[in-house]
Amino acid sequence: MSTALIILAAGQGTRMMSDLPKVLHQIAGAPLFAHAMASGAALLPEKTILIAGHGADEVRQAALDIDEDVEVILQEEQLGTGHAVAQARAALAGFEGNAFVLYGDTPFIQPETLERMAEARQHHDVVVLGFEAADPGRYGRLVMQGDVLERIVEFKDASDQERAITLCNSGVICADASVLFDLVSQVGNDNAAGEFYLTDIVAIASQAGLSATAVSCDEAETLGINSRAELARGEAAFQARARAEALDTGVTLIAADTVYFSHDTLIGRDAIIEPNVVFGPGVTVETGARIRAFSHLEGCHVSTGAIVGPYARLRPGAELANNARVGNFVEIKNAQIGEGAKVGHLSYIGDATLGDACNIGAGTITCNYDGVFKHHTEIGESAFIGSNTMLVAPVSVGDHALTASGAVITSDVPAEALAISRAKQVNKPGLGRRLMDKLKAAKAAQKKV
């Protein structure tokens, strides 16, 4: 059956104490709403609709950056969840299939849970996602009769018997799209807040002779993010799950609690991740690679057997081939590092291609930026770049070529050549001592003033 996603992301999030729309705050390097989109993507939706309100332009751009096919609809007035869902009616006109209502500030609903809801929809008109709450508090309660959901009762309206129910409402709903919009159109706003509540559709469906049920999930999936404290708890929950999944799939985490993953980090089995490593978005680490302590990686690819760090930074576009080595205090950006190549320490390699088995000495810099444009550096196979070499791009160094330590390379170096480019050393006898004595005397005079 076809599927559409309606993701509610219009709230301001005043408890976040932020100028940023709530759903643009991030967990694991992705906006909150992106996690809901990713879970829903497992259902292969034909349409994804995001209902935006506060900061709609920012939310729209962020959504389109993730999925150019998402449709963002503005909810000009925030009049409740039922009103928000109604904004998607025109966009889903003529759509035949299930519509899932998800929340942009509830990032942990799992794809498997949504799939179970889709299965339940084969036997019921409306499916609500519930959870067994350790502390039900003021959550709405799901009143069940067997597998039939009779109604959702808000805490303030519940009897003592109903308040004893621990099966609570998450707000996530699945129904046939046409049925959903028909039910939503009947929701009123005769309540203290004057809002249209999506949860009212269950009672309306029951009165219309339609069948509703509830599917239950782990409470952790339903964590909503409404404050900075909840954002921090959400981040901690994501990291705990990501670490556990990495360990379960054969990745060694020497100090698991100190490693931080992004929402899309991919690590192969038998890779070793040392303490205090941070993965930004877009990182793939292949089987058998080792990421040493205190390294930061984003937008990069590390191949089998490669070693990174300690204290290394791989920026977007860094590509390390098999058995490449990137050592301490090295930064790589938009550069391809060949198989077995070594960039040992204290170097910056940006906008470059390094051939197989080349060796980059300490303090090497590819001078890639002229203040306006970025330029490329090409270093051949088995080339040796002496320590403290400045490679002023665009420039190339041929296969098996060498550069002398301290060289400033401004012209191409042919294969197998040795490039020497530095000023002639001149020694001035006694001048060093005399200059130092003069400087010390000047400093002493300053102290007397």
- Check 83, 124, 296, 345 and give the catalytic one: 345
Q: Taking Cα atoms as reference points, which of 179, 180, 217 lies closest to residue 198?
A: 180
Q: Which helix (H) or strand (E) element contains residue 182? A: helix 177-184
The residues facing 402 across adjacent strands are 384, 418
Q: Are 355 and 399 in contact (CB under 8 A)?
A: yes
Say how far apart CA 234 and CA 237 lie, in whole Å.
5
- Judge whether 345 counts as a catalytic residue: yes
Exposure of 272 in the CB half-sphere (CA atoms within 13 A): 12
Helix (H) or strand (E) holding 61: helix 56-66
- How many whole angstroms separate alpha carbon 197 and alpha carbon 203? 12
Cβ–Cβ < 8 Å for 385, 367? no
Bridge partners of residue 129, in order along the sequence = 215
Place of tokens 């239950």: 216
One-letter amino acid for residue 54 of the chain: H
Cα distance between residue 263 and residue 432, in whole Å: 57
**Alpha carbons 354 and 339: distance in angstroms, whole number:** 9
Show which residues are catalytic: 345
